[in-house]
Amino acid sequence: MKATLHSLLVVAGLVAGAYGAAAQQPSAPVRHSFSLQEALAYAGKNNAQVKNALLDIRIQKEANREVAAAAYPSITASGSITDNLKLQTTLLPGEFLGQPPGTFVPVTFGTKYITSGSVDLSQVVFDGQVLVGLQARRTSLAWKAKNAEITEEMIRTNVYKVYYQLVLSRTQIALLDANIDLLKKLKHDAQVMYDNGFAEKLDVDKSDVQLTNLETEKEKVLLSVTTGYNGLKILLGIPVRDELVLTDTLNDEQIKAGVLQTADFQYEDRRDFQYLQLSKRLNEYNVKRYQYSKLPSFSLAANYNKQIQRNELNFGGDWFTASYIALRVSWPIFRGFATNAKINQARLAVLQNNNQVDNLKLSIDNEIETAKNSFKSAVAVMDYQKKNMKLAETVYGQTKKKFEIGTGSQTEINTAQTDLKTAQSNYINALYDAIIAKVDFLKATGKL
């Protein structure tokens, strides 16, 4: 199971690198017991990437509220107290004040203190860009939601694969333990025969070498399993120090369960296809937004103002009132062709989306066909390896009987044991390859 264990290490390493956890205060370890479906549900709520993707949806909801705010009235209140430290001096012609013509008299106007307060109101009546922004809100939210689904699907895929890898590792370790027990018995028998002069020291040494190799392999498998469990814990969003127990089992009948059909498959079943469709729709809104920016915009404005002027700072007496209402029009006549350039860019982005959709269709077709063929091949190999393992068990049993009655050699029994161990490893690898092929097929058809 060397290649398979290597893949587990790669997956676990990538997961650990992607999710590096921040240091926390240690707490008592917690025991988690999960079936596959329970693990998937837990990851969907606690995986860091999934949680961030769900937060992106909430962020988009707030962004939509911000867009909607442009269509609501805007009301602003303001006030000021001005202290004219030195009033401005103005020269008036002297004849205005009974002075000789040609002379000027310096005078000042105003009061030392001016206190005012006002309320301003503005309301968009029509703005093309605001209108398109309001129309695009639902699509923007759906786009973020679809991205969250894609993220969750990616995590589900990884959980599927690592979970089943670890489930099969239990079987692998059990088989290694069984083979180690067999070799210990063979080594003991060889030692007894050697002590009685019926075997060579070489036969004892061969058994010892095989036993050491198996014990070394088991240690490597245990290390890989520990690494895999840690990777799965991070995928699930639980602390590495916690205990994780996997309750599901896996056999060839479970893998074959369920008929894999593609007749009812639609491209729209794929989340990445839906995501591209939403991206295209958003780019189409961009085209519309820039087109509408050429239209005039209308808004209402109103102001209500109160003011008092005094040479002493007080708020008594009469306040002077001023107010107005206005309808404002803004019409962009010429912007140096910038708007046309933006429209063309948005249209080209839509064409890029079309190309991406077409290319994704080709990729999906290839992915489904490859996954289907891989699954068929993996199931065939699994069945073959299961038969081969049964045959190896039979051969080993017969060879062991011959060895025990003295008609078989130490070399024959060692060879039969090695063949049995190889057949068992090949069967476990075939099981894993088959379940991975099934997961890949379900993902390719949008059913994972």
The pLDDT value recorded for residue 155 is: 96
Q: Which residues pair with residue 77 across a beta bridge?
A: 119
Supply φ then ψ for residue 72, to 5 degrees: -95, 160
C-alpha 274/C-alpha 147 separation (Å) is: 10
Is residue 414 very low, low, confident or very high in pLDDT (cuts 50, 70, 90)?
Answer: confident
pLDDT of 24 higher than 80 = no
Of 117-131, 212-226, 260-274, 348-362, which gets the smallest average pLDDT?
Answer: 260-274
pLDDT of 1 higher than 70 = no
Candidate CATH numbers 3.40.50.720, 1.10.10.10, 3.40.50.300, 1.20.1600.10; the one for domain 2-17+29-70+127-296+331-444: 1.20.1600.10
The pLDDT value recorded for residue 26 is: 62
Q: What is the mean pLDDT of residues 373-378?
A: 94
pLDDT of 275 higher than 60 = yes
The pLDDT value recorded for residue 87 is: 86
Instruction: Give the count of beta carbons closer than 10 Å to the beta carbon of residue 155.
Output: 22
Is residue 22 very low, low, confident or very high in pLDDT (cuts 50, 70, 90)?
Answer: very low
> Residue 376: which residues within 8 A CB-CB, separation 6 or more?
none
Q: Are 177 and 215 in contact (CB under 8 A)?
A: no
Of 110-124, 388-402, 407-421, which gets the smallest average pLDDT?
Answer: 407-421
Q: What is the mean pLDDT of residues 2-9?
A: 47
C-alpha 392/C-alpha 420 separation (Å) is: 5
C-alpha 244/C-alpha 273 separation (Å) is: 35
Of 154-158, 283-287, 364-368, 404-408, which gets the smallest average pLDDT?
Answer: 404-408
Q: Are 55 and 267 in contact (CB under 8 A)?
A: no
Is residue 9 very low, low, confident or very high in pLDDT (cuts 50, 70, 90)?
Answer: very low
The pLDDT > 70 percentage for the chain reads 93
- Average per-residue pLDDT in the chain? 89
The pLDDT value recorded for residue 93 is: 86
pTM greater than the 0.85 cutoff: no
C-alpha 157/C-alpha 232 separation (Å) is: 12
Q: How far is CA 425 from CA 172, 216, 283, 330, in A?
A: 7, 15, 53, 77
pLDDT of 287 higher than 50 = yes
CA-wise closest residue to 266 among 255, 257, 277, 282 = 277
Q: Are 118 and 306 in contact (CB under 8 A)?
A: yes
Q: What is the mean pLDDT of residues 413-427?
A: 92
Is residue 428 very low, low, confident or very high in pLDDT (cuts 50, 70, 90)?
Answer: very high
pLDDT top residue among 197 and 262: 197
The pLDDT value recorded for residue 263 is: 64
Of 13-22, 95-104, 183-192, 240-249, which gets the smallest average pLDDT?
Answer: 13-22
The pLDDT value recorded for residue 102 is: 81
The pLDDT > 90 percentage for the chain reads 69
pLDDT digits (tens, 9 = 90+) for 336-362: 899 999 999 999 999 999 999 999 999
Is residue 86 very low, low, confident or very high in pLDDT (cuts 50, 70, 90)?
Answer: confident
Domain boundaries, the chain: 2-17+29-70+127-296+331-444
Is residue 7 very low, low, confident or very high in pLDDT (cuts 50, 70, 90)?
Answer: low
Segment of 85-94, 105-114, 269-278 carrying the highest mean pLDDT: 269-278
The pLDDT value recorded for residue 407 is: 82
pLDDT top residue among 54 and 200: 54
C-alpha 267/C-alpha 285 separation (Å) is: 23
C-alpha 299/C-alpha 74 separation (Å) is: 11
Instruction: Give the count of beta carbons closer than 10 Å to the beta carbon of residue 163.
Output: 24
pLDDT of 10 higher than 50 = no
Q: Are 423 and 392 in contact (CB under 8 A)?
A: yes
Opening angle at CA 143, ends 138 and 147, nearest 5: 150
Q: Which residues pair with residue 320 across a beta bridge?
A: 307
The pLDDT value recorded for residue 189 is: 84
Q: What is the mean pLDDT of residues 302-325?
A: 90
pLDDT of 4 higher than 60 = no
Q: What is the mean pLDDT of residues 281-294?
A: 95
pLDDT of 135 higher than 50 = yes
> Residue 109: which residues within 8 A CB-CB, separation 6 or more?
87, 88, 90
Q: What is the mean pLDDT of residues 158-177?
A: 94
The pLDDT value recorded for residue 366 is: 96
Q: What is the mean pLDDT of residues 415-423?
A: 92
Q: What is the mean pLDDT of residues 265-289?
A: 95
Of 66-70, 91-95, 182-186, 212-216, which gets the smallest average pLDDT?
Answer: 91-95
pLDDT of 261 higher than 80 = no
C-alpha 40/C-alpha 254 separation (Å) is: 18
pLDDT top residue among 134 and 198: 134
